[in-house]
Amino acid sequence: MEMAAGGRARRRFMERLSLSGLGGLGMGAMSALGATPVQAATGSEVRQWDGETDLLVMGSGAAGMAAAIEGARQGLEVTVLEKFQLAGGSSSLSGGVCYMGGGTPLQKALGFDDSVENMYHYLVAAAGVHAEPARIQLYCEGSLAHFDWLNELGVRYATRFSSDKELSHGADSLYYSGGEQTWPFREQAKPAPRGHVPPAHNQTGGRELMKLMHAAAARLGVKVQLRMSAEQLIRASDGRVIGLVVEDAAGQRLNLRARRGVVLAAGGFIHNRPMLQRYAPELASSQPAWGRAGDLGMGILMGLGAGGNLLRMDHGFAVLPLYPSEEVLKGVVVNRFGQRFINEDAYYGGMGHAWLFQQQGHGFLVVDGDSDYPGPDYRFTLAAEAASIEALETALKLPPGALVNTVGYYNQHAARGEDPQFRKQTKYLATLTKPPFKAYDLTVGKAFCTVHTFGGLEIDLDGRVLDGWGSAIPGLYAAGRTSASLPVAPYLASGLSIGDGTFFGRRAGAHAAGKGA
Amino acid sequence: MEMAAGGRARRRFMERLSLSGLGGLGMGAMSALGATPVQAATGSEVRQWDGETDLLVMGSGAAGMAAAIEGARQGLEVTVLEKFQLAGGSSSLSGGVCYMGGGTPLQKALGFDDSVENMYHYLVAAAGVHAEPARIQLYCEGSLAHFDWLNELGVRYATRFSSDKELSHGADSLYYSGGEQTWPFREQAKPAPRGHVPPAHNQTGGRELMKLMHAAAARLGVKVQLRMSAEQLIRASDGRVIGLVVEDAAGQRLNLRARRGVVLAAGGFIHNRPMLQRYAPELASSQPAWGRAGDLGMGILMGLGAGGNLLRMDHGFAVLPLYPSEEVLKGVVVNRFGQRFINEDAYYGGMGHAWLFQQQGHGFLVVDGDSDYPGPDYRFTLAAEAASIEALETALKLPPGALVNTVGYYNQHAARGEDPQFRKQTKYLATLTKPPFKAYDLTVGKAFCTVHTFGGLEIDLDGRVLDGWGSAIPGLYAAGRTSASLPVAPYLASGLSIGDGTFFGRRAGAHAAGKGA
């Protein structure tokens, strides 16, 4: 991409802002207002283009880079615009898990059977009423090819399986990253581990994945420009998206033309409080927000301003991480009525959803001397500690007898290795009998529960942004958490967001190149 | 309003459709496609106006008639367009309850204390994270004036209070129509009965209310045209809504001009299956749909097509009517784990929400010989009947001991007039000890649970439709269930939808007249 000097362009841009009635209010100020969509500029008003390429990608996380790489592989000239000094987006903060299955080489090498059907049935079951079967089917059928695609980029998995529920701190590359082995899903689809992690220590797989993707992109000639903040879409008079207004590190405004399209891959809106309050008040009530500082909803707002339709804006990922250590899963999680409400070994996204959306963010984790955290737990504060369940119940001000009842019933069956109510896996069943008994406080606002958004622009199976009519907006794509795609609440498994972003990001890049992925 | 002969207008309309790329696909066909917004026509393309008035109102239910009446009171010429042969919309099917308080003359005459603050606190508490405090405050502060307004229309309430939870089948005019007396709300606001019902037998208050509103409208010169189906908004080049394309009983298309604005008050979308599946899959899973056949989302789609923003499209009213008879509230409602999950005396909208959204539509109502329905209950089928709770539990295939445990705990406390877990009112507490024990099936799809939608066009406090930027679309109003307003899930009280529609409909009419309500 060729860049012209920005001074004159900036002046013209500001003039245009004035002409269009925005007065002295710059776009940066507009976005700071919160849930205010950013209206697209009209191409006929652009008197000078400061650069031109085939495909412009907003955001350098996994979704954006997948679109960029695939576009470049298929012959497009591609520029990625990254607002920050550091590339990689929220993907680089993540574990880098990619949810793949159907019999990947890694699954096979580690002796796990899987099939497209099993993977499909798990995802459909876990997505419940919010499942988009056609999208899930495409994702499952394309999973082996997606594994190969990542392999070609240089992503190599270690032939090491971890049986831990949480992403390994070592360099293991395959694990059960969702609720495949837990009830009720284990009855609906044959379990298989599908969380594929680039080998990395201390859960830095996301950083590794992004390094590899950026290196692959560089080899393909993709330009990644840092500290370039996309601010506004530019549309032709026929509605086609033909470019972006961006602000460079010096504060200069530039009009960049995109001959084949623009991909919005700028993350979700977890850091935009007004948007969160308006669309997802439950998520707004929890903390901390999970995501890099750029998750301000800018991509979503820009797409909305161009006529894009929004879906599932109330959905998100609420991670209530009881584990590790998995020892505590032998305890019970109870609501404010002293009742259990979910199997404690549920995937932590399922646990977080049940707790935040169905129990209004109330509850306690109750453990005994054998099932307590090995050390003081930084995530949850101690609500009470007592020598008996009766005393613990009193200290927690639970309904009299309720917790005693719950633990009594639980112990009676756990002693036989059974959990007839919630069907927790046998390995997490143990009687709670050894003092001291402790209750950790799972009250929203006090408990550590990271949240992230899933709602965004409606896209078709090629990543094209759809307007309210269900028609694709020409030249406009979205991927990752800027779009509403595979991840729905309760979240289905770790690695599904990266998996979705890279899979449908790829398809967006391919579509922009006029070819299939 | 003057109507020109429609033949030529229709021909021109069809030509325009062809010109705008829609080919031979008429608007009726488009709306039959489901979740497809109806794009606004451009005023410059209208070569002939077939009629003209100040205010056009789409829909003749309570919200539309309130807008029409207030507009006419303030000097506007108003025409209401009703798609069907029978006026009154879904409001006429309803009980006609209007939620009002703060010390209305009827409340005072019946000896009930209430205040604006109590009413506000109840509504804010019941709306939870979805509360819009400014909207609730305006509604509560204006409630006495709204009572007077209805009185001026001829709505007379009988000075008769009913202590029944369900709307009286007699001609009582005041009752507790929400969960004011139930936990936890009775602790958050001093309870007062706020359900105001026009006297009518057999729950036909809605028909009475609509008769009175239509009569009042006629006295004010409002024209109500039946079998006139609004199909499309007409916008001027500056975006202002200036009219409607309507189809008359003979299938003629007419362009009607509105000098001061258009009010979309065409109900919700409970009868539009594709919209329901896309935006509110939980509601789609239950039945029957509650609403007249016109609740097809046409008003919402027309507003969306003009750039209106949608809010809370997943919210709705899920009525799980255990009562009457209230005897059964002495029983317990349990989930598929054999646990209680809500006070059985909860408002039936709260019960329906907890059951459908939080228990995924699973559960049983368990009663004994003393708490059973007096006759065979048509709403729910019998899942099991047994001589003991143990045998009932086995027959229901509940986790062993779970129901025995639940009923044992319940009985132990009910014997003392207590319900420490869910704090059901004392009058509904009784031990369940007398055979036969019965369980009624509350499985979604089998159980009778009427559903209705709450999501729709975002409006400001004057009923103006807001676009995605948060700006009002000039000339466009929405009211009632075409808008997203006071009713949120779980529904707060019967009468809030009619209350909201008439209150904010009034404000829309006043705003269109250039004055306050």
Per-residue model confidence as pLDDT tens digits over B456-494: 999 999 999 998 778 899 999 999 999 999 999 999 999
User: Considering only alpha carbons, which residue of chain A is nearest residue B339?
Assistant: A339
What pLDDT sits at residue A45? 77
Percentages of chain B per state (helix, strand, coil), in multiples of 5: 35, 20, 45
Residues of A in contact with B340 (CB under 8 A): 337
- The ipTM, to two decimals, is 0.88
What pLDDT sits at residue B38? 66
Rounded CA-CA distance A349/A497 in Å is 12
What pLDDT sits at residue A287? 86
Rounded CA-CA distance B58/B298 in Å is 10
Q: Is A36 on the interface with B (CB under 8 A)?
A: yes
Residue B399 DSSP class: P
Q: Does A213 or B310 have the greater pLDDT score? A: A213
What are the angstrom distances between the C-alpha of B232 and each of A145, A470, A471, B13, B250?
46, 18, 19, 11, 17
Residue A443 has pLDDT above 70, yes or no: yes
Q: Do B420 and A409 touch (CB under 8 A)?
A: no
Rounded CA-CA distance B442/B356 in Å is 10
Question: Which of B284, B357, B405 comes nearest A405 by C-beta?
Answer: B405
pTM for this entry? 0.89
Interface mutation target, options A238, A407, A409, A422, chain B, most CBs of B under 10 Å? A409
Q: Is A274 on the interface with B (CB under 8 A)?
A: no
Rounded CA-CA distance A2/A51 in Å is 5
User: Considering only alpha carbons, which residue of chain A is nearest residue B310?
Assistant: A310
What pLDDT sits at residue A238? 84
State the SS3 of A363-414.
Answer: CEEEECCCCCCCCCCCCCCEEEEECCHHHHHHHCCCCCCHHHHHHHHHHHHH
What pLDDT sits at residue B135? 98
Contact predicate B498/B97, CB 8 Å: yes
Rounded CA-CA distance A449/A455 in Å is 19
Which residue in B484, B480, B478 sits closest to B464, CA to CA? B478
Coil, helix or strand for A111? coil
Average pLDDT over every residue of B257-282: 95
Q: Quick one: angle between helices A205-219 and A143-153, nearest 10?
A: 70
Which segment of A298-307, A471-480, B31-40 scores lowest on mean pLDDT?
A: B31-40
Question: Which of B305, B339, B409 comes nearest A468 by C-beta?
Answer: B305
In chain A, % of residues over pLDDT 70: 92
Q: Which two tokens stand for residue A338?
A: 């002293």
What pLDDT sits at residue A189? 97
Residue A358 DSSP class: I
The runs of H, that is alpha helices, within B366-513 are 389-396, 402-414, 496-512
Strand partners, A385: A438
* B292-350: pLDDT as tens digits: 888 999 999 899 888 888 999 999 999 999 999 999 999 999 999 999 999 999 999 99
Residue B8 has pLDDT above 80, yes or no: no
What are the angstrom distances between the C-alpha of B409 and each of A362, B73, B421?
22, 60, 10
Residue A30 has pLDDT above 90, yes or no: no
Task: Write the single-letter amino acid at A353.
Answer: H
In angstroms, the separation between the Cα of residue B471 and the nearest Cα of chain A is 10
Rounded CA-CA distance A331/A389 in Å is 12
Categorize the per-residue pLDDT at B198 as very low, low, confident or very high, splitting at 50, 70 and 90.
Answer: very high
Strand pairing class (B382-386; B437-441) = antiparallel
Residue A207 has pLDDT above 80, yes or no: yes
